[in-house]
Amino acid sequence: MANIVYCFSRAGERFLMSVLADWRVEGAENVPRSGPLIVVANHLSNMDPPLLACSIPRRLHYLSKRGVFIPIVRTFLRAYGAYPVDREGRDLDGFHWCRKLLESGGALAMFPEATRSPAGGMKRVIPGAALLALRTQAAILPVGITGTEHIGPILQNLAPTGRLRANIGKPFTLPPVDGPLKREQLEALATQIMLRVAELLPARYRGVYQLPEAACSARR
């Protein structure tokens, strides 16, 4: 049933974006077709999860803030592949759910900023994605999203407009850490992840993760 809900919703959103918006995906060939995968992206609006679902040719699962799991939409969100967590991401049940999903070869989409940045500039990362990647050694797939910042309330997802882009980078893994993991090591690895995302974005979207254009060009 869950796969039916996901596939039906994905097909409907793809149709709407194809008709109403200028939607393009770059780098789809970089997506591993199997194996544990953590998709990480910048977060501009409520449109980002369905945009990733439509742009990534794999069944995705998500973490979502607990507050949106109200009775009227809770069943749909669960079937769509979302799991409720605290906004700060400090949720052991959520971490174990993610780890189990990845260990079974699933694909998880994460927005490491943990909150939307409708002004476009990336915010400082919460290092949960880095910790999860270290513990599972799952491949990380960076994605740069542009154009969704003008889409506000969730109902606007039903009529997406504008120039929507998902720029998919090449997958990578984090180097294993010997010995006890220190907070500064984890934060440095989390920054590495977000810099990979920043490389896929125009400068005005990078926020605190600005970097030379030459570095971006070398990665593409």
pTM: 0.91
Cα-atom radius of gyration of the chain, to the nearest Å?
16
Q: How far apart are CA 197 and CA 216, in angstroms?
A: 10
**Residue 52: CATH number of its domain:** 3.40.1130
Lookup: tokens for 70 = 């109200």
pLDDT at 216: 53
pLDDT in tens, 59-88: 999 988 887 888 878 888 888 999 988 765
User: Which of the four pLDDT bands, split at 50, 70 and 90, describes residue 214?
Assistant: very low
Q: How many domains does one find in the chain?
A: 1
Q: How far apart are CA 126 and CA 31, in angstroms?
A: 24
pLDDT in tens, 102-145: 999 999 999 999 888 878 799 999 899 999 999 999 999 999 99
* Domain limits for position 35: 2-219
